[in-house]
């Protein structure tokens, strides 16, 4: 056996060779090492495997190296015994019990209820609690729950859609009464945002600006930003032209730096609601034309001293039905 392992050392990966050597030294040497190889029988091997029944991986590895070593010995012309691997003891891998008892479920439900009672008065429901309950009641994997978005949950149709599964094939989970009530409760504490227009297109623009900032020019997808060969050139263009879009891109990327991708993903997750479901609707003044809302808050990104911008500012002002919030508008703003 030692000769065979030494022979295979150069052709096996270091990890596999160490596994074979460890298994032989730990499990096989003491029981089989002193038996002359012509005298070794299937009964000897089975006696050892019966002792190793609780160490499934060692048993399977030992089977592999025993058969391979005797085949090697036969090729070398050694007087080896003839062994029949098919007659060796077979064990199935132990099946782990993957369920909670009724008592454990009750304890878990009590703990969640107690934690919720502490969180709800503050208007918050921790995402960890939501995830743990969804894991319990859906049987999904952690990665599947963590990737779940509100847009993947179809309350009316009665199911939730999983996209990133272990098998890379999407699957549907029916919404039981318990899962539905849990999700509806969680949604009450979500600050949903709806973006008027194509949010993905906007996020890709900011992502391209980030790639320009990181000097990863090959990853830039926005055609307007591809003409810039360096971040400093883009920044100078924003300052010189006072382009509001460029200025916003510079401000955002230089605020978040390497956290920009994470910030963009957070925005993507929040902006998944329809206008009917959202607490906040974000829109540009251009896209707000012809529409009105009860409350409107204007941001401080209006240009000054242009007739076109005055018209846009007027459109924004007249979108409010009941409340108009101008607290973010600079006091010295002039047209």
Rounded Cα gap, residues 286 and 312, in angstroms: 7
DSSP category for residue 25: I
pLDDT score recorded for residue 67: 83
Whose CA is closest to 335, among 68, 316, 322? 316
CA 244 from centre of chain: 34
pTM: 0.46
Q: 197 in the Ramachandran plot: left (φ > 0), alpha (ψ -120 to 50) or beta?
A: left
pLDDT in tens, 215-274: 999 999 999 999 999 999 999 999 998 888 888 899 999 999 999 998 898 888 777 777
- Listing DSSP states for 252-265 in one string gives HHHHHGGGHHHHHH
Rounded Cα gap, residues 333 and 45, in angstroms: 90
The residues, any chain, with a CB within 8 Å of residue 132's CB and separated by 6 or more, are 112
Residue 220 Cα distances to 185, 226, 259, angstroms: 40, 6, 18
Contact 137, 178 (CB under 8 A): yes
Alpha helices in the chain, H assignment, sequence order? 2-8, 14-23, 29-32, 42-51, 56-76, 102-119, 127-138, 142-146, 177-187, 199-213, 223-226, 231-241, 244-256, 260-270, 307-317
pLDDT score recorded for residue 48: 77
pLDDT in tens, 137-188: 888 888 888 888 877 888 888 999 888 787 778 889 999 988 888 888 777 6
pLDDT score recorded for residue 305: 66
- Mean pLDDT of the 20-41 span: 78
**At 54, is the pLDDT very low, low, confident or very high (cuts 50, 70, 90)?**
low
DSSP category for residue 219: G
**At 119, is the pLDDT very low, low, confident or very high (cuts 50, 70, 90)?**
low
**At 36, is the pLDDT very low, low, confident or very high (cuts 50, 70, 90)?**
confident
Residue 24 Cα distances to 61, 62, 69, 257, angstroms: 9, 7, 11, 53
pLDDT score recorded for residue 94: 58
Average pLDDT over the chain, rounded to an integer:
82
Q: Is the pLDDT of residue 123 over 60?
A: no
pLDDT score recorded for residue 85: 76
Q: Is the pLDDT of residue 214 over 90?
A: yes
> Which of the given ranges, 12-26, 50-64, 95-109, 297-311, has the highest pLDDT on average?
12-26
């Amino acid at each position: 056996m030692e000769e065979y392992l030494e022979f295979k050392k150069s052709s096996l990966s270091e990890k596999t060779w160490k596994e074979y050597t460890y298994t032989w030294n730990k499990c096989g040497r003491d029981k089989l090492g002193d038996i002359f190889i012509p005298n070794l029988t299937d009964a000897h091997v089975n006696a050892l495997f019966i002792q190793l029944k609780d160490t499934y991986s060692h048993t399977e590895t030992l089977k592999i190296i025993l058969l391979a070593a005797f085949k090697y010995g036969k090729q070398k012309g050694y007087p080896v015994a003839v062994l029949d691997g098919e007659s060796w003891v077979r064990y199935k891998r132990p099946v782990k019990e993957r369920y909670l008892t009724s008592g454990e479920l009750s304890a878990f439900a009590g703990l969640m209820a107690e934690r919720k009672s502490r969180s709800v008065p503050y208007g918050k429901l921790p995402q960890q609690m939501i995830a743990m309950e969804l894991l319990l009641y859906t049987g999904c994997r952690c990665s599947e729950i963590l990737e779940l978005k509100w847009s993947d949950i179809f309350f009316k149709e009665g199911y939730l859609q999983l996209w990133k599964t272990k098998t890379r094939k999407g699957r549907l989970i029916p919404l039981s009464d318990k899962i539905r009530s849990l999700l509806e409760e969680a949604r009450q504490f979500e600050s949903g945002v709806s973006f008027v227009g194509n949010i993905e297109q906007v996020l890709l623009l900011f992502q391209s600006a980030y790639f320009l900032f990181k000097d990863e020019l090959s990853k830039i997808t926005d055609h307007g930003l591809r003409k810039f060969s360096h971040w400093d050139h883009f920044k100078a263009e924003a300052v010189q032209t006072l382009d509001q879009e460029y200025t916003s891109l510079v401000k955002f990327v230089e605020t978040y730096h390497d956290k920009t991708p994470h910030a963009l993903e957070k925005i993507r997750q929040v902006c998944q609601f329809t206008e009917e479901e959202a607490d906040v609707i974000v829109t540009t003044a251009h896209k707000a034309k012809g529409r009105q809302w009860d409350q409107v808050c204007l941001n401080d990104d209006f240009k000054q001293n242009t007739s076109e911008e005055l018209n846009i500012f007027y459109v924004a002002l007249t979108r409010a039905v009941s409340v108009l919030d101008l607290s973010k508008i600079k006091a010295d703003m002039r047209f």
